[in-house]
Every structure is written in structure tokens, then in C-alpha cells.
Chain A
């Protein structure tokens, strides 16, 4: 059993247009001292799930267990009693209080004496890099500083679980990148279990021990970042994480027990190696996903005989450190990522090779 155990969480919202399932039977186990990211497009239910963990939302059914203790089924445990700290998307730093008052708020409620409070707050402000700004009001601080105040406030009571709801989405790109590492640093230093909600995949990749991807209220894949990238579980995940080429196809034959299968796709005949033999059946419609960086643009000679296609370059997109070529094979346009010095101009004919091991077959 995980440190946080989300069991069959269901949450519906009524809107003017009818009922929306914000969390559709979500089950998730989160280990102690793990930083897990809930990732998905807006409206996928990630924030709802987080708010259920926090106790700010009550699920219609299902439960959340924190450190073995049920939060809903045996009497509602209010947010304050869950041992959590939370950082909100727009910081939720109280504008009418100083930095000190903001950070010390929870301690004051706990009845921590003023001297201790002061010492602990100072210590915490040191950790988040705000030393000496105790007397400032939030209105006098930059967005990044406000976010640090929010983080300090959330950490102040030594929570068992830190919940972060898109904490960096209001910051500019540079600062966001910097804060990512800082947050990961602080969380891992404090050995905190953290749930982090974001719609930014780069953020999720950099930060997380594991990434949980949600779509329309459902949890679609939970895995380590590299696994998510390289072995997506569905077309949605493949598409949502990074860029990929999706080609529709059909399983034509199952070639051997190692998982090599032959597909009929828009490109022609394509061989792929599947991880799970049992997952594919002959005649089944599937999607073929292959990342642009896994497509080799080849010259006349190449060792392989299969999976080589001839196409026309329709567009060159030069990004400096790399180059995208858009190559039309029959009616399908494939995006290939090449070295920036790769030759070939628009209208030229070229050939590409798809490594069967790098082709991912996804259920339709």
C-alpha cells in the first residue's frame, strides 16, 4: 500500500450543460518521499483529484488514504488535520499580511510561541531564499518571490504531504525553469511526499519520480518519465507527450514470438516490435507511433530491407540546433528530426527508415 492511496475516486460536477465527471474512478498509489505529477490537459480532472487529496473537495464516492488513514469514508478529515501543505496556482498569498504573518499563520494557530515562531520562519525563509524580507507585503514582491512565500507557508508545518497546484504557471519562462529545480531540490531535501499538478509536460518530466497522466477524468498512464515518453500506453499519451507521428494501420501478420508484427499502414507495410505479444491480434486496427527523432533519413545505401519508404520533402523547418523535414510518403506526411546540416531541399525525393524497435503500436 502506498503512502497516499487514492481508491476509486469519483467526483461529478453539475454545470449548466449537464453533469461532468471530473474524476472517473481514479485509483493511484503514491509512495513515501515520491514526487508524483498529475499531468494532463486543462479540464482533465487533475486539479479535482489534488483537491480531493487536500480535502477541499469531497468526492461522490471513493476514498483517499494518507499514511493508512481514510480521509472520507470514516468521517471527513478536514484539510487542516491531514498533515498537508499546499501551494496554489495563483499563490494565494494573503495580500493583507506581511511575509512573516503569511508564513507564520499555521504556526500561530498551533500555538507555537512567538520566539520559536520567529526562529522557524526565519529558517524557512532562508530555505526558500527570502531571508530578510519578513516585513514586506506581497504586493511589494515579484511573482517569483510570492511563489516562494507560498512554498514557505506550505512547508512551515512540516507536512507529510506537499500538494502543488500548477504553482509555476503564472511565472515567466526563465523563472519557471529556475523554480522547477528549486522545488525539486527542496522537496527531495525534506524527503517530502509531493503531488504536483501541471499541464506543462517539460515541468512534469524534469520534476517527477513518476508521472500520472489524466484524460477526461480518467487516469490513463502512471509511469516514470522516460517510460511515459518511450512507451506510451495510448494514442492520447503518445500525442500529448512530446511530438510524434501517428499513422493509422491494421495488424496484417504476427511474425514471430519476439513480438515482431507486420502492419499495413498509410506508408505501406511496416514491421514493428511490440512489447506485449498478447496485446495485438491479427486484423485489429491500430495506431503506429514513432517519434521524429527515431526516423532516419537515409541515403541510397542502408542495411535494412524492411521499413524503408521513399517520399518527397514538402517542408524544411530549421530550428538552429536541429532540423525538421516533413516528408510525404504516399498520402501520409511524416515529420523527421535530423541533424541541422542534413541535406535535402523542398521537392526533393528522399528515403526514410523506421526502426521496428522504435515503432510503438497503440490500440485504436
Chain B
């Protein structure tokens, strides 16, 4: 909000006119979008949380009920615990992985990097179901172990909180690895070499120099990981864990029927988890600002140090990467096997192979695919435009209320999809009938997945030297022209990952879509959800999930290929002044 004072402090030459400057107009536009798509619908929810069931009055009753009920408080704490455990697991799994990928010169690194990113591509629910098939009491692993006589009774690998931790950790691993990777590769090699010269070698150097330098970047990833369990209701429910805030919110909102009191409790859960997430977010922000290491911000193109590991270390690295890859690959493999088979149950491997599932998709369900592409594509378009606008406003201007904008849009990270779905339906059915037009689907996707992209755009913008833009301005380019010819091409590399992530996250969104879709607007995930109940046969849903994974993975590869090529022309040979 610093911009306000800055402008008003010198009315001498700017006055009212300065308030109508382009930046402020853009900010006003952004505020309008945010107000219409976020604040307006979500305010319905917040208001609901203060309603007293069975009357027209408002009060704190719901909150009081929440905090006085041991069950809800227990769920509250349990969600915290889950978040902590998931964070711990991703850190423990991700740290060595990121280090190996960033520092060791090994063959097949690209493949392993791609594999680690794969879980983002996989919707958590599809992964969860694949795991039930493989790790369940009568899943492949248990059946094999029993067949080989290693165990006589099935082991419970996943049903329960440990399964949720395991699954969410795998799903979130990419966030962790990507942010750590960025950290490791952007550390100035001099800093580590300096430590080496001082006599700190190996593990000691890692813990005393490398790791502390990574902390801000690590936290950026960690916050995403930590907040996820506050919004993911489906994975815990598949593994039979219900007493977590998001699941409670989902069940209470979705299944309240005539009991509005229950619905309000669900909304209270949403509001409280949002509160927690906002607090976590602000704390992190304050902390990172206090501890900004200037050395980190420059030259992400450096690539950090790379080492040729000793043979033993190399073998261990390979084994570790293979282990993680196996965990990750298991999901598409199981989905694929299910998709190409029928009646795969209570046997370690499928017995009846068939192409029927895929035939059904290609004859009857192409609409799902085209809808998914359309909605995610439109959402991506809007998202990229808006994300860049926001990044521009926040990083480059002193426009009014820009930090507020950032704050509100990041809030969406933590609003569960169910809540957004309900809020949208309530707000946009009567009055403003946006929900009757299919644009509501991409808009909702945009709103939900925006923060992921925006964070990337923001970071990319911060790393772009303002001189490059100023030079264009001096050369006679308008702001828009400067943006299109200078900033955008240079930002591409930085936002590329964000673009891909946005699209993929939008592509697999289900919680909001399931509430908002009307007949004919079914997306691939919605189709997957609906077909889950198609008889008891999982094959068709698995085939859909498999299709989805393949589509997104192919997109990822093609984008990386094209993007890599294009970007290399501009960036490959250039070291940006170094």
C-alpha cells in the first residue's frame, strides 16, 4: 500500500491526474477482477459461517461450537499434524533427490528429473486409487507376499493416516524438489567454494553453507506442501481418514441436506483452515523478507556447482532415484494395467485384457477431453495475462493496493475447491447468472489455480533487470510495447514452469468442477469421478485417468522440447552479463 503515500506526497505536479495513471487503472482493473471472482462469491461463505442455524440472526455460535467440541478441535490438530508429517516426508525424500539432480553429473538426469515432476501430472485421487489397487490389503503387493509365503495375513500399508501422509508426500514431492532444485542451482558456486577453502567439506559444508542458503527457496516450496493437506479432502477419504478439516468441510457442506447447522460447521472449518493458511503464509513472508540472501537472487542461469560423484555415491544415487521413480511410476503403471484389463481384483496382476475401455473413451467420451482442453486452455490464457499483470503491478509499480491484491489472490491457495464450488453456485446463479454460462468453468479454474502461476511470474519478474525495460522505454517504446518485445520474451523462461504447472493443475481440477459443471461441460476428471461408479468396474475410470496422465505427460514433453528449443536460442549461449 506504500504507493498511496508516495503519490500523494507530491501533489505539486501530479495531483488527481496521477491517480488516473495507467498503473492505477490496471490495478483497479485487477481489483475489479479479484472482487468479482474472489471476494464477492467467497463473502457468501464467510457470512454463512456467522449465521445461527434455525434463525435469521448472526453470531459467533458456530465458532464457539467448533472450539468447544473436542472432535472438531481434534480434527484441527490432526490436520496440523498431517501437514507437518507430509512436510517432513517430502523434505526427507526430496532433499537428497534435489541434491543429486542439481549437483551430480549423472547419466539419465533429464529422465529422472521428468519422473520426479510426474506426480504433479497425476491427480491425487487417481494416484490414491492406484495405490489401493497395489498396496491394499488384497492388492498386488500383499497378494504377492502371501503367495510367496512371507506373510500369512495382509499388512495394512495404506489404510489410515500413514497412507495419507505417504500419498500426499509423493504427490507433493515435485513442489519440494523443484524449489530445492532452483535453490541448489542458483547458489553462487563461490560461496560453497569459499566454505571448502575454509576447510568445511562434504556433509559439513552442506549443512552449514548450502542448506541455510537454500532456506528461503525451500520455504517457498514448503509452504505449498504444508498448505495442501488443508485443502485436499479426497485423498484422506479414499484412505478412510475422515476427521481432517478439509474432509469435514466437504462432508458437512456436501451432505448437510436439511441440517444447515452442519453446513455452517463445514464452512467454519473452511474459514479456519483459510485462517491458518493465511497466518502461515504471512509468517513465512515476514521471515523470508528478514532473511533475504542477496546472493540468491542473481543468475539462476548459472547452474551451480556440479560434481562427478565417487563410484559408491553414484551407485547409491542411482538406487535412490530408482526407488523414488518406482514409487512415482507405480501410479501410471497400475492405472494403465487397470485401463487395459477387466475384473482385476484379488489377483496380483490382471487376468483379462481388453481394449474396450479405451474404445469407449474414443467413441463416446471425446467430449471430456475436448472440454478439459478448452476450459484449461481458456483458464490458462486468462491466468497468464492476469498473472503477468499482477506480477507487473506488484514488482514494477507503486500502484494503489497492490500488496492487497497479491494477498487476496494467494488466499485462493487455501480455499478448498468444494467451498469455491458452493460459493460460486450460490453467488452466480441468481442475480449474476455467470454459472449458467460455460465461461464459469475456466474462470473457476483460473481463480483456483492462479496462485501457482502467479508466484512463478512474480519471481521471474523480480529477477528481470529493470534496466532492460528502461532501455526500451528510452529507445521510444510504449509500456505495452516494452512488455511485449522485451519483458515477455525474457520472462518466458521464468514463467514457463508456471505456465505448465498452471495448465496441468487446471487440467486435473475436480473439486470445484464437480459442483459447477452442467450437462455437456464434463471435464476429464469429472468424467473420471462419474465413471468411478460405473458398475463396480474400475477399468473405465482407470483408462480415463491413464489417458489423462498420458495427455498431460505428452504435453509436458512437447512443451519442454519446444520451449527448451526456443528458450535456448535466447538464453542458451547467454550468461546475462556473466
Touch between chains A and B, by CB atoms below 8 Å: yes
Judge whether B474 and A143 touch: CB under 8 Å. Answer: no
Closest to B492 in A: A96
Among A85-93, A210-218, A259-267, the one that faces the other chain is A85-93
Residues of A within 8 A of B573 (CB): 137, 139-140
Option from B6, B475, B571 in Cβ contact (under 8 Å) with A105: B475
Judge whether B471 and A153 touch: CB under 8 Å. Answer: yes
Judge whether B465 and A90 touch: CB under 8 Å. Answer: yes
Closest to B7 in A: A58
CA of A157 to CA of B475, assembled, Å: 8
Closest to A12 in B: B9
Closest to A156 in B: B475
Judge whether B577 and A146 touch: CB under 8 Å. Answer: yes
Residues of B within 8 A of A191 (CB): none
Closest to A57 in B: B470
A110 within 8 A of B: yes
Judge whether B471 and A88 touch: CB under 8 Å. Answer: yes
Contact with A along B473-514 (1 / 0, CB 8 A): 111111001000110011000000000000000000000000
Among A73-81, A174-182, A292-300, A304-312, the one that faces the other chain is A73-81
B558 within 8 A of A: no
Judge whether A139 and B574 touch: CB under 8 Å. Answer: yes
B107 within 8 A of A: no
CA of A54 to CA of B472, assembled, Å: 12
Judge whether A79 and B2 touch: CB under 8 Å. Answer: no
Option from A58, A60, A96 in Cβ contact (under 8 Å) with B570: A96
Option from A14, A76, A106, A109 in Cβ contact (under 8 Å) with B5: A14
Judge whether B576 and A95 touch: CB under 8 Å. Answer: yes
Judge whether B470 and A60 touch: CB under 8 Å. Answer: no
Residues of A within 8 A of B12 (CB): 60-61
Q: A61-B10, A88-B467, A92-B467 are in contact. Are A80 and B475 (CB under 8 A)?
A: yes
Interface size on A, residues (CB 8 A): 42
Residues of B within 8 A of A66 (CB): none
Judge whether B473 and A79 touch: CB under 8 Å. Answer: yes
Judge whether B2 and A14 touch: CB under 8 Å. Answer: yes
B413 to chain A, nearest CB (A): 27
Judge whether B476 and A110 touch: CB under 8 Å. Answer: yes
Judge whether B9 and A92 touch: CB under 8 Å. Answer: no
Most chain B CB inside 10 Å of its own CB: which residue of A105, A110, A140, A143: A105
Interface residues of A in 30-77 (CB under 8 A from B): 54, 56, 58-61, 72-73, 76
Closest to B12 in A: A61
Residues of B within 8 A of A86 (CB): 470-471, 474
Judge whether B490 and A96 touch: CB under 8 Å. Answer: yes
Judge whether B486 and A80 touch: CB under 8 Å. Answer: no
Q: A109-B475, A109-B481 are in contact. Are A95 and B467 (CB under 8 A)?
A: no
CA of A101 to CA of B324, assembled, Å: 46
Judge whether B465 and A92 touch: CB under 8 Å. Answer: yes
CA of A14 to CA of B465, assembled, Å: 21
A225 within 8 A of B: no
A84 within 8 A of B: yes
B554 within 8 A of A: no
Q: A14-B5, A61-B10, A170-B577 are in contact. Are A94 and B475 (CB under 8 A)?
A: no
Q: A89-B467, A92-B471 are in contact. Are A105 and B574 (CB under 8 A)?
A: no
Residues of A within 8 A of B489 (CB): 96
Interface size on B, residues (CB 8 A): 34
A138 within 8 A of B: yes
A interface secondary structure, majority = mixed
CA of A360 to CA of B201, assembled, Å: 57
Interface residues of A in 131-180 (CB under 8 A from B): 137-140, 143, 146, 150, 153-154, 156-157, 170
A335 to chain B, nearest CB (A): 35
B17 to chain A, nearest CB (A): 9
CA of A162 to CA of B9, assembled, Å: 31
Judge whether B468 and A92 touch: CB under 8 Å. Answer: yes
Residues of B within 8 A of A93 (CB): 471
CA of A110 to CA of B477, assembled, Å: 9
Contact with A along B372-400 (1 / 0, CB 8 A): 00000000000000000000000000000
Residues of A within 8 A of B465 (CB): 90, 92
Option from B9, B477, B574 in Cβ contact (under 8 Å) with A80: B477
Option from B467, B472, B476, B574 in Cβ contact (under 8 Å) with A137: B574
CA of A96 to CA of B486, assembled, Å: 8
Option from A59, A91, A106 in Cβ contact (under 8 Å) with B577: A91
B465 to chain A, nearest CB (A): 7
B68 within 8 A of A: no
B489 to chain A, nearest CB (A): 5
B55 within 8 A of A: no
Closest to B485 in A: A105
B108 within 8 A of A: no
Judge whether B473 and A78 touch: CB under 8 Å. Answer: yes
Residues of A within 8 A of B571 (CB): 95-96, 139
Closest to A105 in B: B475
B13 within 8 A of A: yes
B575 within 8 A of A: yes
Judge whether B9 and A60 touch: CB under 8 Å. Answer: yes
B30 to chain A, nearest CB (A): 22
CA of A150 to CA of B467, assembled, Å: 12
CA of A12 to CA of B490, assembled, Å: 31
Residues of B within 8 A of A138 (CB): 574
Closest to A78 in B: B473
Residues of B within 8 A of A140 (CB): 573-574
Residues of B within 8 A of A153 (CB): 471, 475
Known contacts A84-B474, A95-B574, A153-B475; 14 additional CB pairs below 8 A are A56-B474, A60-B12, A76-B13, A86-B471, A92-B470, A93-B471, A95-B576, A96-B490, A96-B571, A105-B472, A137-B573, A138-B574, A139-B572, A146-B577
A-B contact pairs, 22 of them (CB 8 A): A14-B5, A54-B474, A56-B470, A72-B13, A76-B13, A80-B475, A80-B476, A80-B477, A84-B474, A90-B467, A92-B465, A94-B468, A95-B490, A95-B574, A95-B576, A106-B476, A109-B475, A109-B477, A110-B476, A137-B573, A138-B574, A146-B577
8 tightest A-B CB contacts, nearest first: A139-B574, A96-B570, A92-B467, A106-B475, A80-B476, A92-B471, A60-B10, A95-B574
